Amino acid sequence: MMVDMSRQKLKQRATISAVADDAGVSRAAVSKVLNNAYGVSDALRQKVEASIARLGYRPSVAARGMRGKTFTFGVLLGGIENPLVSEIVRGISSVAESGGYKVVMAMGRYKQPLESGMIESMIDLRLDGVILIAPRLPDEVLDHFAQQIPMVVIGHHQPSAGSFDTVNCDDAKGAELAVFALAKRGYRDISMLSMPQPDTNDANIVTMREIGYKAAMEGLGLNRYTRIIYMPSEQQDRVRTLKKFVSGDERPRAIFCWSDLDAIPMIDAVRNAKISVPEDLAVIGYDNSSLASLSLFDLTSVDQLGVEQGKASAHTILSRIAGRVNAEHIVLQPTLILRSSH
């Protein structure tokens, strides 16, 4: 596992008493330092902060609540390549602004150590909560951080989670909508273009879309046509893979792409190869991005309600900050936006 934490370490968390003992001061003195109280000497602050760093102490959610709100919560993005992210952030910002909250954003670049470090920084800054958008962190690490700060996770299907909330669109259902729409047009040889996922959990959105694709193909009696084609992670390799795919003998009659991020380049590659869409290859994407509606692509795509996901996550983090303790798991229903590509 890439995250620099063992299961045993996750179960261990220094207490304020341990910090006090290590620093040789009272619990009250540690609290004053944590609260940035008036009159704390530099010597006391340095002694306590040294013990905090040495022990890896992080305040509990309850202790944070006692210190009062900052009226600021964090949003951790994986990246900004997908236009859907901007829609989610727009929804979050609108609710935060109306509720009198500020939003601090950070980017984890889909790397586990960096994501962990960013969340730790948000905890250190004493933000009131954090919203994670499609994190790569394992369930146990998410739970570890959720013990320390109110947390809502978007793009992570874990309805059993008790320490944090989740907001998702029904990704399996979205994939089923795409397959059913292709089958309705008479296509049987329907493949899926996907992305390999880390093996830290099976709760990510891409895995759920693969599950929906397989279920739909089985339900339609098209098992023998079921095929998932995985794209490489490097951009140059992705371009070569698409070119090889569209010109190869094994090209299916129709394809469902896990995201418009690959569906748009797919249509571009097909047309550059003088292949017609949908006459020679029908294509359906996922996200209903702004490019999908352009006449150049006119891409049929699954709308997963980015703005609504953002609004729901912001309302959820605010209720969590206000004291709600029971986990909420919100699932929105996707829709298929029909255009000419299928």
pLDDT tens figures, 195-230:
987 665 678 899 999 999 999 999 999 999 999 999
Predicted confidence (pLDDT) at residue 60 exceeds the cutoff of 70: no
Tell me, what's the pLDDT at 10?
43
Tell me the per-residue pLDDT of 122-148, one tens digit each, with 9 for 90 and over: 998 889 999 999 998 988 999 999 999
Range in 157-166, 183-192, 193-202, 258-267 the model is least confident about: 193-202
- Main-chain phi, psi angles of 60, to 5 degrees: -75, 165
Spatial CA neighbour of 258 closest among 331, 183, 341, 197: 197
The whole-number pLDDT of residue 43 equals: 85
* 3 state DSSP class of 31: helix
Domain range spanning residue 240?
A: 171-304
Quote the pLDDT of residue 269. Answer: 92
Distance CA 156, CA 205 (A): 6
Is 46's pLDDT higher than 90?
no
Q: Say if CB 283 and CB 277 are below 8 A apart.
A: yes
Average pLDDT of the chain to the nearest whole number: 88
Helix (H, G, I), strand (E, B) or coil at 75: strand
Q: Is 251 part of any domain? A: yes
Q: Looking at the domain assignment, is residue 294 inside a domain?
A: yes
User: Between 7 and 102, whose confidence is greater?
Assistant: 102
In a domain, 155, yes or no: no
CB 301 within 8 A of CB 284: yes
Is residue 12 very low, low, confident or very high in pLDDT (cuts 50, 70, 90)?
low
End-to-end CA distance of the chain: 40
What is the count of structural domains for the chain?
1
Please check whether residue 141 lies inside any domain of the structure: no
Is the pLDDT assigned to residue 1 strictly greater than 50? no
- Most distant CA pair in the chain: distance in Å? 77
Report in angstroms the alpha-carbon separations of 160 from 133, 207, 208, 267, 326: 18, 17, 16, 38, 12
In a domain, 310, yes or no: no
Predicted local confidence at residue 61, as pLDDT: 54
Q: Is residue 233 part of a domain?
A: yes
Q: What is the CATH number of the domain that holds 206?
A: 3.40.50.2300
Type of residue numbered 84:
L
The answer to whether position 224 is within a domain reads: yes
| Listed range (88-102, 160-174, 193-207, 319-333) with the worst mean pLDDT | 193-207
Q: What is the pLDDT of residue 197?
A: 77
Instruction: Check residue 54 and give its pLDDT.
Output: 85
The per-residue pLDDT for 39 is 64
Tell me what pLDDT residue 237 has.
85
Over range 299-319, report the average pLDDT.
Answer: 97
Confidence of residue 102 (pLDDT cuts 50, 70, 90): very high
Distance CA 129, CA 258 (A): 30
What does the pLDDT read at residue 186? 97
Q: Are 30 and 139 in contact (CB under 8 A)?
A: no
Angle CA(78)–CA(306)–CA(239) in degrees, nearest 5? 55
Res 126: pLDDT = 87
pLDDT for res 292: 95
What distance lies between CA 262 and its chain's CA centroid? Answer: 18
Give the pLDDT score at 11.
43
- Closest of 183, 254, 184, 170 to residue 212, by C-alpha: 170
How far is Cα 84 from Cα 288, in angstroms, rounded to an integer?
8
Angle at 269 between CA 263 and CA 274, to 5 degrees: 130
Distance in angstroms (rounded) separating the CA atoms of residues 63 and 200: 30
Confirm whether 246 is domain-assigned. Answer: yes
Using DSSP's 3-state secondary structure scheme, residue 116 falls into helix
How confident is the model over 233-266, as pLDDT tens digits?
A: 777 788 888 888 888 888 999 999 999 999 999 9
Q: Which residue has the higher pLDDT, 124 or 36?
A: 124
